[in-house]
Structure 1
Amino acid sequence: MEASVGLGAVFLSEVLGTGVLLLLGAGVVANVLLTGSKGKDGGWLLISFGWGLAVFAGVYVAYKSGAHLNPAVTIGILTSGAAEYAPGVPVGFGSTIVYFAGEVLGAFLGAVFAWLTYKPHFDAEPDEGLKLAVFSTGPAIRSYAWNLVCEIIGTFVLVFVILAFAKTPTQIGPLAVALLVVGIGASLGGPTGYAINPARDLGPRIAHALLPLSYKGTDGEAIGKKDSDWSYSWVPVVGPIIGGAIAGVVTSLVF
């Protein structure tokens, strides 16, 4: 019988794992987009592989809590009818909230550390939109309904296949999830930047709103108000929640 894992350990595990995920994930976006970076213009595939490897690292760090790293994954497990979120961690209201809190806080902290890593490049970057893109997703063509559909589909694929991995062991563990994220980014990521994770978008967007980022003139003085695009922020939260919930229900019917 599996030993119970305390909710404090679950919280810390998700904070650390999601923090590593966002440090590396936001980091690869900064590397590709920001002025003066050695990875400047590295392209979409570099970003996709960077996020995949970020997931790979985060999953290992958060092994103790089952490495959800994503409220959509937590919700998918919940709606699948599972009894445990991880070995020794029963599904329940309290444990669900602990996962959500750890994931959002970890994402916030990871984004802050990515900002610290690239601070001189943020200061040198004149395009405020590129700065925001390091922290949060945004649509290529803004259409809230279709952007929502894209996030639902992408997250459904993510959560459904992750739950399928659990039913059909491949012996490659976190690597399978990492490759899945690369595949989603390469195939489905173009319309919205594939948040597929409410914490991944919300935590860093809050960081963007709080950090000292603003338009600056040639003399270094702030000349404009920072925009964290809160009007779009509900899409990468609601879409993944819906997609994850549907994936869990479908998994319970199929497997």
Structure 2
Amino acid sequence: MSEFLAELLGTMILVILGGGVVGGVLLKNSKAEGTGWVLITIGWGLGVTMGVYAAGLVTDAHINPAVTIGFAAAGQFPWEKVPMYIGAQLIGAFIGAVIVFFNYLPHWRETKDKIAKRDVFSTTPAIRSLPSNLVSEMIGTFVLMLGLMFIGANNYSEGLNPLVVGLLIVAIGMSLGGATGYAINPARDLGPRIAHALLPIPNKGASDWRYAWIPVVGPILGSIYGALFYKVLFLGESSIMFWILTVLVAIIFIGAAVSELRKAKTATSEV
């Protein structure tokens, strides 16, 4: 199996199981309907675990463009392979979303909530505030990338690493995912969002392209910063890119905080 096919397959499995659990929880008359956020986070964690097992036979099982770019920025992955990996991940995510669509064929017409149907494919913030949503995706993917670097630095029994990575995904989802639905993976959001736009889903509504850049840009920034942060803190390897990103991250965080404070002040004055 080629590296391209391995990353495609791993990401496809990730989205089938991750999108599948969201469909089970949100779509009408599913046997899992209403079982909630805990089941969703566990389903995504297991989806990542299975995807890593599938792709890990051939690659390091990135199954996430942000992870691929993060490792490349840290000098642990060749930049020339990045476009190929990202292409495979996007195609795999798209195919996985199409399979989820077919799995729940009768449930789309039974479900009246357009946002719930879109949520099976892509993320929607609990409170729409783009600066804060961007920060949330950055934090989640920063923790993901830092965690992957931690996991790679430890010695586990053969075959155990994917399980640990899956637990990391569950932990991020339970602790941080409530704000945006924790895409923390541009392919996981963008590929299925494209599928949502193209598939003949009854009464599906818009694909929310105005928000779509958040789960792409946020994870990439968070992943790069997480990888470089690990190198500085644990390996003592600093770089100009790290300090530039530190300033950029600080500006984004401060800007988001100021935006929320202004909204809070406006809301208070209107009472």
Do Structure 1 and Structure 2 share a fold, with TM-score over 0.5? yes
Residue by residue over 1:24-45, the C-alpha shift from the partner in whole angstroms, topping out at 9 and shown as x without a partner, is: 0000000000001000001100
Give, in whole Å, the separation in 1 of the partners of 2:69 and 2:189.
16
Give, in whole Å, the separation in 2 of the partners of 1:126 and 1:142.
22
- Show the counterpart of 1:98: 84
Secondary structure of the 1:38 match is coil
**Contact 1:107/1:200, CA 8 A, preserved across alignment:** yes
- Show the counterpart of 1:233: 212
Deviation at 1:123, TM superposition (A): 2.0
Secondary structure of the 1:65 match is coil
Deviation at 1:92, TM superposition (A): 2.8
Counterparts of residues 77-156 of structure 1 (less than 5 Å): 77-82=71-76, 85=77, 91-93=78-80, 95-156=81-142
- Show the counterpart of 1:194: 182
Residue by residue over 1:87-112, the C-alpha shift from the partner in whole angstroms, topping out at 9 and shown as x without a partner, is: xxxx132x110110011110000000
- Show the counterpart of 2:228: 249
Instruction: Extract structure 1 runs of 4+ deviating beyond 3 A.
Output: none
Give, in whole Å, the separation in 2 of the partners of 1:231 and 1:92.
29
Give, in whole Å, the separation in 1 of the partners of 2:153 and 2:163.
16
Give, in whole Å, the separation in 2 of the partners of 1:212 and 1:114.
13
Deviation at 1:210, TM superposition (A): 0.2
**Alignment coverage as a number of residue pairs:** 231
TM (norm. structure 1) is 0.88
User: Higher helix proportion, which one?
Assistant: 2
Which 5+ residue runs of structure 2 have no aligned equivalent? 236-271
**Contact 1:19/1:110, CA 8 A, preserved across alignment:** yes
Secondary structure of the 2:41 match is helix
**Contact 1:28/1:50, CA 8 A, preserved across alignment:** yes
The answer to whether the aligner puts 1:69 opposite 2:55 as a matched pair is no
Give, in whole Å, the separation in 2 of the partners of 1:175 and 1:250.
24
Residue by residue over 1:129-181, the C-alpha shift from the partner in whole angstroms, topping out at 9 and shown as x without a partner, is: 11000000010100000000000000000011101111122332100000000
**Contact 1:52/1:178, CA 8 A, preserved across alignment:** yes
The answer to whether the aligner puts 1:176 opposite 2:164 as a matched pair is yes
Deviation at 1:248, TM superposition (A): 1.4
Which 5+ residue runs of structure 1 have no aligned equivalent? 1-7, 86-90, 216-224
Deviation at 1:198, TM superposition (A): 0.4
Give, in whole Å, the separation in 1 of the partners of 2:202 and 2:29.
18
Identity %: 51
- Show the counterpart of 1:5: none
**Contact 2:115/2:205, CA 8 A, preserved across alignment:** no
Give, in whole Å, the separation in 2 of the partners of 1:99 and 1:200.
14
**Contact 1:111/1:135, CA 8 A, preserved across alignment:** yes
Deviation at 1:187, TM superposition (A): 0.3
- Show the counterpart of 2:238: none
Residue by residue over 1:56-94, the C-alpha shift from the partner in whole angstroms, topping out at 9 and shown as x without a partner, is: 100011011111000111011111122xx4xxxxx132x
TM (norm. structure 2) is 0.83
